[in-house]
Structure 1
Amino acid sequence: MSTITPLPHERSGAPLHAMVTGSDSGIGRAVAVALAGGGVDVGITYHEDADGAEETAKKVRELGARATVHRLDLTDLPTAASVVDEVADELGGLDVLVNCSGTGSSQAVMDMDFDTWRHVLSVDLDGAFLCSQRAARHMIDAGRGGRIINITSVHEHAPRVGAAPYCAAKAGLGMLTKVLALELAEHAITVNSVAPGEISTPMTGQEDVDPRDQPRPGVPLGRPGHAQEVAAVVAFLTTPAAGYVTGASYVVDGGMLLMGPQASPLLPDDSWRSAG
C-alpha cells in the first residue's frame, strides 16, 4: 500500500505557527481554539475588543499552545498588514494564516455612499490580500510549505439584497483564493476558502446562543451553525490529510445554498426586496 509523503514542516515534528485574524470572538475564536487543540501556536488579532482577544489567548494557553495578541486595523492599509510580520517574528515563523476578519453593511446600493462601500471592501478583501501576501512571503522564505484559509461566506457564491459590498468582497476573496492556489502551489502552500452560512456568533446577533434552539425552517438542517462547526473544517484544512486540497471552497451552511430554487416559489410577497 502506498503512503502519503508528508510536507517538510509535517516531517519535522516542530509545532506549527498560525495567525488568525479577527479571533477575539465568534468564528475566529473558535478557529484559534481548534488549532491550539491540535498543538498549533496562535497569533490572535483584534480590532477593538482587546478583552475578547485576551480571552481567546487564555483558552489557547489552557490547551498548552502559545498565544500572542496584536491589534489589527484593516482600515489602515497597507500599514496594518505589518502585524503579520510581528506575529511571525514573535512565534518564530508562520505556517498557517486564517483570514477571518470581516465586516458588512445593510443598505441598498442606491442609498449607499462610497465610504461605506470602500470600508467593507478594505476590511473584507484588501486586508485579506495584504495579509496573505505577507504570510506567503514568510512561508516561501522558510521553505516548509504552508496553509492559507480565507473565511468567506455563502455570499461568496450567492447574492443578498442590501449586502452589495459584502457580497462583492466575499466573491472577490473566493476568486483571490483560486489565483493564490495556482501561484503558490509550487511552494507547497495550499489556499482554500471556507464559506459559512448563518452561524450563531456576535456578528449575527446570536452570541452565546445554542443554535439548536433557533429554528430555521428554510435551512435543510433546520438551524444555524455553531462556530465550532466552521472551525472544524478550517482545522482539517491545516492537517496533512488536506495536503492535496487547494483552490477549493468548503461551504458550511446546513444546506442553505441548496434551497435557492426550492425556496423561491414559497415566498408570499415582495418583502425580500428590502435591504433591512
Structure 2
Amino acid sequence: MTAQFSPRRAIVTASDSGIGAATALALAEAGMDVGITWHSDEEGAEATADGVRERGRRAVVTRFDATRLDEVSAVIDGLADELGALDVFVNNAGASTARPFLEVPLAEWRETVALNLDGAFAGLQTAARRMVHAGNGGRIIAVTSVHAHQPRVGLAAYIAAKHGLSGLIKTMAQELGQHGITANAVAPGEIATAASGRDSEDADRTHRPGVPLARPGKAEEVAAVIAFLASPESSYVTGADWTVDGGMLQMGPQAGSHLMDDGWREG
C-alpha cells in the first residue's frame, strides 16, 4: 500500500501565513492540490491560494477555528470533499499566550489546550478516518514545537498541550500503520515569521549565539521537512518527532552552565 502511495490532495490548517503558508506552497510544488484555512487573516489565506494556483495546482480556502470543537470535523470534511479526497493532513493551527503559571486563569488554560490539543485531536481523527476509509494510505503531520521537548518559563498551558500532541502522534503511528498511514511530528524552534514580526530575510540578518547554526530558522526550512514527511519517499518514517531548530535543543547543558544571571526566569 505504501509503495503505491501518490499524494495529490492535502489540507494545511492555519496556512494563511508563516509555516502553514510555506507548507502549502511546498506541497503545491510537489504536485498537490491544497486546502487552506485561516482564522483571522482571510487576505493572507487568499495570497497563499494564489501561490498554490501559480504552481499549477488547485486551492480551496475556508475559515477554521480549532477551538470550536463541534465544528472541526465538518470543516475538514468539507475541504476534503471539495478537493475530492485527502492524502495528506498537516495540523499547523496553534498559538500561545505568555503568562506565569501562577497567574494563568482556568479559562485561558482551557482555551489554549482546546486550540493546541483538543482541536488538533478532532482534526487529526477526522483526517485519519477518511484515509482509512479510502484505503490508499496517507500522511499525517502535526506541527508541535521544540517546547514539546523542553519547557519554557511562562508557557505552561501551551507546553502541556504540545507535549500531549507529540504523544498523540506517537500513538496514532502505532494504530494507523496497518492502514499504510504514517503519523509524524515536526517541532520548530525559533522561526522568523510574521507572527514574530520578521521574515525569512531577517533570519539571515539575526545572530543567535545560543543556537549552533547561529540564526533563527525560516518557514521554508520547516516546510521542506514537512514536504518530505508528506511524500512517498518517507514511507518508512512514522512516530518520529523531527526538530527543526538549528540545534537549539542540543544546547541544554551548555545553557545551564553558562547563563550569567537569572534573567531567564522572567521568560
TM-score tier by shorter-chain length is over 0.9
Equivalence for 1:31? 23
Three-state SS of the structure 1 residue aligned to 2:139 is strand
Are the equivalent residues in 2 in contact too, given 1:17–1:94 (CA < 8 A)? Answer: yes
1:232 is aligned, of 217, 224, 227, to 224
User: Is residue 124 of structure 1 aligned with residue 116 of structure 2?
Assistant: yes
User: Is residue 81 of structure 1 aligned with residue 76 of structure 2?
Assistant: no
Are the equivalent residues in 2 in contact too, given 1:199–1:226 (CA < 8 A)? Answer: yes
Task: Give me the TM-score of the superposition, normalised by structure 1.
Answer: 0.94
Equivalence for 1:72? 64
Equivalence for 1:160? 152
2:171 is aligned, of 179, 186, 190, to 179
- AA aligned to 1:147 is R
1:8 is aligned, of 4, 10, 27, to 4
- AA aligned to 1:8 is Q
Three-state SS of the structure 1 residue aligned to 2:217 is coil
Three-state SS of the structure 2 residue aligned to 1:97 is strand
Equivalence for 2:13? 21
Point out the more displaced range, 259-268 or 157-166: 259-268
1:231-270 to structure 2, matched below 5 A, reads 231-270=223-262
1:59 is aligned, of 51, 67, 71, to 51
- AA aligned to 1:166 is Y
- AA aligned to 2:192 is S
User: Is residue 97 of structure 1 aligned with residue 89 of structure 2?
Assistant: yes
Tell me how far 1:81 sits from its aligned partner. 2.8
1:58, 1:23 → 2: CA distance? 12
Are the equivalent residues in 2 in contact too, given 1:18–1:96 (CA < 8 A)? Answer: yes
Task: Percent identity, please.
Answer: 54
- Residues paired across the two proteins, number: 267
Are the equivalent residues in 2 in contact too, given 1:7–1:145 (CA < 8 A)? Answer: no
Task: Give me the TM-score of the superposition, normalised by structure 2.
Answer: 0.97
- AA aligned to 1:254 is G
Three-state SS of the structure 1 residue aligned to 2:186 is strand
Point out the more displaced range, 260-269 or 176-185: 260-269
- AA aligned to 1:262 is Q
Tell me how far 1:271 sits from its aligned partner. 1.3
1:238, 1:75 → 2: CA distance? 25
1:70, 1:22 → 2: CA distance? 10
Tell me how far 1:209 sits from its aligned partner. 4.3
- AA aligned to 1:263 is A
User: Is residue 212 of structure 1 aligned with residue 208 of structure 2?
Assistant: no
Are the equivalent residues in 2 in contact too, given 1:7–1:144 (CA < 8 A)? Answer: no
Three-state SS of the structure 2 residue aligned to 1:210 is helix
Tell me how far 1:137 sits from its aligned partner. 1.1
User: RMSD between aligned alpha carbons?
Assistant: 1.2
User: Which consecutive segments of 4 or more residues in structure 1 shift more than 4 A?
Assistant: none
Structure 2 residues not aligned, in runs of 5+ = none
Structure 1 residues not aligned, in runs of 5+ = none
Are the equivalent residues in 2 in contact too, given 1:43–1:87 (CA < 8 A)? Answer: yes
1:187, 1:218 → 2: CA distance? 42
Three-state SS of the structure 2 residue aligned to 1:80 is helix
- AA aligned to 1:80 is V
Tell me how far 1:208 sits from its aligned partner. 5.8
